[in-house]
Structure 1
Amino acid sequence: MKHVVVLTGAGISAESGIKTFRDADGLWEGHDVMEVASPQGFAKNPELVLDFYNQRRKQLLQVEPNEAHRVLAKFESKYKVSIVTQNVDDLHERAGSSQIIHLHGELQKARSCYNELDIFYWKKDILLGDLCKQGYQIRPHIVWFGEAVPMMDEAIKVCETADILVIIGTSMQVYPAASLIDFVPQHIPIYYIDPKPAKVNNNRIVVIPETATEGVKKLIKLFS
């Protein structure tokens, strides 16, 4: 059974109504990125940061997986499928995919500010005064700028065993996630689905300039 590795970004979730955090002017929902997505921002104004992610979590509960998510889940009937996502939503899980690596964390989880390995499901608002079992403030389980990406090593191992690589809805400009393409075997085919794809200088990359939903439909025909 061939191993299909799928790298997904904000573009696949946008079709479900999930806003991409970063606006055209570089702001995240009107905030400078370092205000709401860095340890320094959290230390300076924890209430602002907690509210920012509380609003993102509420939005997530109001949307559903789209056809692109569901098609990827159906691929598991024919292929071994590993999804490596930069997204912090749970739409891949809700669509039925079973092997998912979240590089940048998960909105539906929280973790202790004291012990970064103390991670647990959390679906309501996180407020100042919400404490872990050891008595320390909890925070969103999100990888902020300047923090290590703990799932990166696992993602690299998955990419090294790929027979096919599919990139959906990401410019592959955010590192270290963008470096994952360097770890797939040199001979395997790569498909890149994005309505506004970044320029690629690699002959083995097949560019499909479509939305995630339309792109995966074309992918089915290419795979058959």
Structure 2
Amino acid sequence: MKKIVVLTGAGMSAESGINTFRDANGLWEGHDIMKVASPQGFANNPSLVLNFYNKRRSQLFEVTPNKAHHNLKKLEEKYSVHIVTQNVDDLHERAKSTNILHLHGELLKARSSATNDYVCRWEKDIKLGDLAKDGSQLRPHIVWFGEDVPMLEKAIDITEQADILVIIGTSMQVYPAASLINFTKQETPIYFIDPKPYVNKNAFNNLTIIKDVATSGTDILLNMLMY
């Protein structure tokens, strides 16, 4: 059975109603990114950071997987499918995809602010005074700017094994996630689904660009790979 590796970004979940929260001027809901998505921001104003992610977490209970999520599950009828996602939502899980790696963490988990070793399921607000087992303040299980990406090596290993690579809803401009495309074998077919694909078509062999949103773009992909 051939192995498809799928790299997904914000555009994958946008049609479910999940806002990227990043404005055209680079702000997240009026906040400087470094104030709500960095260790320094958390140290300076933990209440602001916790509230920011509490809003993101509560929104997950108001949305459902879209057709693109379900289309990726359908690919499992013919392929071994491994999803490497930059998204911190659980929509791939709810669509019943089998193999999912979250590169940037998960909103429905919390972890110790002192160590990466303690991680737990967390579906409600994280409040000041909510402590991990080591006595430190709980924080969102999210990889912030300036932090290592602990799942990167595993993502590289998965991508290197791809017989087919699919990229959906990501600009491929944010590193280190954007570097994963470079770990496929030279002749691996690559399908890039995005309404504004930022990629040099001449830089890769066997690159097919599907200039579309995730739902209709994955419909096209299914027609190419399943039938």
Q: Secondary structure at the match of 1:77?
A: coil
- Distance in 2 of aligned mates of 1:199 and 1:142: 27
Q: What TM-score, normalized to structure 1?
A: 0.98
- Distance in 1 of aligned mates of 2:218 and 2:55: 30
Q: Which residue of 2 aligns with 1:45?
A: 45
- Distance in 2 of aligned mates of 1:92 and 1:21: 20
Q: Which residue of 1 aligns with 2:192?
A: 192
Q: Which residue of 2 aligns with 1:96?
A: 96
Q: Which residues of structure 1 form unaligned runs of 5+?
A: none
Match for 2:182: what amino acid? D
Shift, 1:204, TM fit: 2.2
Match for 1:90: what amino acid? D
Matches of residues 32-71 of structure 1 in structure 2 within 5 Å? 32-71=32-71
Q: Does 1:220 align with 2:222?
A: yes
Shift, 1:69, TM fit: 0.1
- Distance in 1 of aligned mates of 2:37 and 2:214: 26
Shift, 1:221, TM fit: 1.2
Q: Which residue of 2 aligns with 1:14?
A: 14
- Distance in 2 of aligned mates of 1:205 and 1:27: 33
Shift, 1:153, TM fit: 0.4
Q: What TM-score, normalized to structure 2?
A: 0.97
- Distance in 2 of aligned mates of 1:30 and 1:58: 19
Shift, 1:29, TM fit: 1.3
Shift, 1:115, TM fit: 1.9
Matches of residues 119-198 of structure 1 in structure 2 within 5 Å? 119-198=119-198
Q: Secondary structure at the match of 1:74?
A: helix
- Distance in 2 of aligned mates of 1:161 and 1:85: 16
- Distance in 2 of aligned mates of 1:114 and 1:146: 16
Contact 2:118 2:133 in 1 (8 A): no
Q: Secondary structure at the match of 2:76?
A: helix
Give the counterpart of 2:207 among 182, 205, 208: 205
- Distance in 2 of aligned mates of 1:39 and 1:114: 11
Shift, 1:199, TM fit: 3.6
- Distance in 1 of aligned mates of 2:154 and 2:62: 31
Shift, 1:196, TM fit: 1.2
Q: Secondary structure at the match of 1:141?
A: strand
Give RMSD over aligned pairs.
Answer: 0.8
Match for 2:116: what amino acid? E
Q: Which residue of 2 aligns with 1:80?
A: 80
Shift, 1:78, TM fit: 1.0
Shift, 1:30, TM fit: 1.2
Shift, 1:154, TM fit: 0.4
Match for 1:33: what amino acid? I
Q: Secondary structure at the match of 2:124?
A: coil
Per-residue CA deviation, residues 145-185 of structure 1 (Å, 9 max, x unaligned), is 00000000000000010000000000100000000001011
Q: Which residues of structure 2 form unaligned runs of 5+?
A: none
Shift, 1:63, TM fit: 0.2
Q: Which residue of 1 aligns with 2:24?
A: 24
Q: Secondary structure at the match of 1:174?
A: coil
Shift, 1:99, TM fit: 0.5
Count of matched residue positions in the alignment of Structure 1 and Structure 2: 224
Match for 2:221: what amino acid? L
Q: Secondary structure at the match of 1:134?
A: coil
